[in-house]
Amino acid sequence: MRVTSMYTYPVKGCRRMDRDTARVEPWGLDGDRRWLIVDENGLGLSQRQHRELVTMRAISRPGGLTLEAPGRSPLDLAEPTDGEPLQVRVYRARPPAPVRAAGPEADEWLHRLLGRTVRLVWLGDPTGNLVPWPVPTEVGAELSFADGTPLLLANTASLDAFNGWLRESGSAEGPLPMIQFRPNVVVDGAAPWAEGEWVGRRIRIGGAVFQGAAECGRCLISTIDQETGERGREPLRMLAARRNIGRRLLFGLQLTVWAESGGVAEGRTVSVGDAVEVLD
């Protein structure tokens, strides 16, 4: 098994950023979902409210990022290390997270894109943003603005099987591309749905070790075309028919970072082409 592609999403809900290699941190891949757009009440916004975010590119770099969107001039931003301190929630049910405001220039740029008052914030210290449930001592509890765990793994064979079901059904929506599921790491060489057997097991990918936390229950965002923003009925309709387990429509594997020897060693990376090995 090997990694065939990797993606990060510097601003939660924005267009993917293709990666050849990425550094592994306790809260996920470097540069992944460290920025969040929030409303006037400090509540996170995503494609659930604004499908036009599929057109917004956020290109991360050490110390900052660049925002791009059709019809808008690019905006370069530095990490607001001295920005206004705020408390925001990625979802209503989540505990508040300490962040820094990016500032009025970023807010105005996003206002023109989304047509509403918003703020862009940066999670400078993910160690203060913990998953709101118990985790084993061997894995990190730190989290970026990801939905539930630091990374999402997807299996090309599972997508092939899913698209085969769509063809058999005569659906006009298939085949779906992998990016519609917004994974971080895509692997090839496994059997269809093998990732479901990796829950609770350690998985070595390149220079880092992860733990399978749970199969990923999919939401309405998976029905949004990540190129156009158009919404369809798939994959939820087919997952409801074929992959409805415990009332969750499952595709992909959520991963946590395994903290070997008391911590994640500096310099660990995952790259396209790296071997993937289930350790136990």
Helical spans, DSSP H, in the chain: 104-114, 156-169, 236-242
What whole-number distance in Å separates Cα of residue 223 and Cα of residue 211? 27
Which pLDDT score, from 0 to 100, does residue 127 have?
83
Tokens of 122: 């940066």
Query: What mean pLDDT is predicted for residues 41-53?
Result: 96
> Is pLDDT above 60 for 47?
yes
Question: How confident is residue 262, by pLDDT bands cut at 50, 70 and 90?
Answer: very low
DSSP state of 96: P
Q: What is the pLDDT of residues 189-234, one digit of tens each?
A: 999 999 999 999 999 999 999 999 999 999 999 999 999 999 999 9
Q: How many CB atoms lie within 10 A of CB 109?
A: 21
Of the pLDDT bands very low, low, confident and very high (cuts 50, 70, 90), residue 142 is confident
What proportion of the chain, given as a percentage, has pLDDT over 90? 85
Mean of the per-residue pLDDT values of the chain: 93
Please say whether the beta carbons of 133 and 143 come within 8 A: no
CA 71 distance to own-chain centroid: 26
Q: Cα–Cα distances in Å, from 214 out to 193, 211, 251, 254, 256?
A: 13, 9, 10, 5, 10
Contact 280, 212 (CB under 8 A): no
Sheet containing strand 28-29, edge to edge, reads: 28-29, 21-25, 269-271
For 123, the token pair is: 């999670």
pLDDT value of residue 110:
98
Task: Please give the full DSSP string across 164-199, using - where no structure is assigned.
Answer: HHHHHHT-SSPPPPGGGG--SEEEESSPTTGGGGGB
Is residue 137 pLDDT above 60, yes or no? no
How confident is the model over 35-55, as a mean pLDDT?
97
CB distance 251 to 217 below 8 Å = no
Please report which confidence band the pLDDT of residue 143 belongs to, taking 50, 70 and 90 as the band edges.
confident
pTM of the model: 0.94
Per-residue pLDDT at 260 exceeds 90: no
Is residue 49 within 8 A of residue 13, CB to CB? The reply is: no
113 falls in which pLDDT band (50, 70, 90)? Answer: very high
DSSP state of 268: -
Q: Name the band, by pLDDT with cuts 50, 70 and 90, for residue 95.
A: confident
